[in-house]
Structure 1
Amino acid sequence: MTYWSGFCSLQKEVQPIELTKRQEMILQIVKDEGPITGEQIAEKLNLTRATLRPDLAILTMSGFLDARPRVGYFYAGKSGNQLLGEHVRKLSVKDYKSVPVVVKEETSVYDAICTMFLEDVGTLFVVKEGGILIGVVSRKDLLKSSMGNQDLQTIPVGVIMTRMPNIVRCTLEDSLSEAAAKLIRYQVDALPVVKEAENGGGLEVVGRITKTTITRAFVELGEEATV
């Protein structure tokens, strides 16, 4: 083989790979929505995960895509910060919310303090029948009300609570980053997660997001990055 024929042969070997129509579709999906799992890509294309496996392997080995355990596929041209930011924005309130701790408006301040202590929370949500949100009581509210010589068993939380509509809240559809921004902006320890009541009579409390929730989410992200 001559030098020229060898050079031509090498040129043929390094020619850019030609993608199939399906591979181009996969690449576009990952560019637009990555990081995204193989199962999610398959669902968008109405195909099985097994059918896509060869295409994903080709795109990954060719350097078009990269993959991270428990996160999914992402476009290789994106930086680590871009990848992390996109993944964080996809974290949903509905996936991280915890059980709300609620009391009634007529609950005494004394009983509210006991509930807060026993449930190990910093915020209580005040609801009426049907779980409809009407107020929020924080640790600071209870502390202020306990100063002096007042009989805490005779003071209802309805007297000291923050009432609707002056309650910072989030919904199941919000992202966790949006909830975190509200916690910081309004300097509160917890947000009630609400949805419209079926009878249209207000907002029903279906969960809570706290600073601990946000911390747990970032700890999980750190663990995923080391897998």
Structure 2
Amino acid sequence: MLRDRRHEMIVRIVRSEGPATVEALAERLHASPATIRRDLVQLHDEGLLRRVYGGAMPIDERDDPFVDVAAVRGAEKDKIAQRCAEMVKDEETVLLDIGTTAHRVASYLRGRSLTVVTSSLAVLEELHDEEDIQLIMLGGMVRRDYRSLVGFLTEDNLRQIKADRLFLGTSGVRPGGHVMDTTVVEVPVKRAMIAASDQVVLVADMGKFPGTGMARVCGPEDLDVIVTNAPGDQATLTAMREAGVEVITV
């Protein structure tokens, strides 16, 4: 597993499950205890967790997982987001998924004349004062930890929408090109977003290869474009190309 992906997983485990020992993290992430110790030192220095004797614990149980994940690979996500924003044409209707990279895409859409549809409260916060952007929030149940709206109301709203393009987030991409998610409740919303869009653009930084996640969102045949910075995973990107997906590497 790549270092950045390992860091993201450590932050998620500690935030969602509480204090964890070096040995438990090493076994779970298939890494050596020495590697995990180095990871914890770096994550502690970055303020993403608190390193303690023998392991790590969350800084504050009320910390926001969205903020934790947003801090990982920030510069790389910015490059992907900027490239995605360049694809958008004025007056388009853009559908933005939840997630930290999609939120960064929103930041690069500021000042544009667009319609933006989203289930992300972070995108709402980013664009609420943009007068030239018509901002449409999908209804649903609030997932506070991840700043998103989910449920049958969200899915029903999406059936009334037709977007020019969707920027879709993911927990990981399998070697065959299958898009995965770790949170089952988000999967129906993502599928409804795909159905509502003329073009589906997957945003996936190098930490999403190889993929993790128990729930399959879609296959490569449902994608039109992937924007990534993961040139090293040629097997997955080749599978994408063979399925007709345009691969844009930043």
Normalising by structure 1, we get a TM-score of 0.25
Structure having the higher strand fraction is 2
The structure number with the bigger radius of gyration is: 1
Normalised to the residue count of structure 2, the TM-score between the two structures is: 0.23
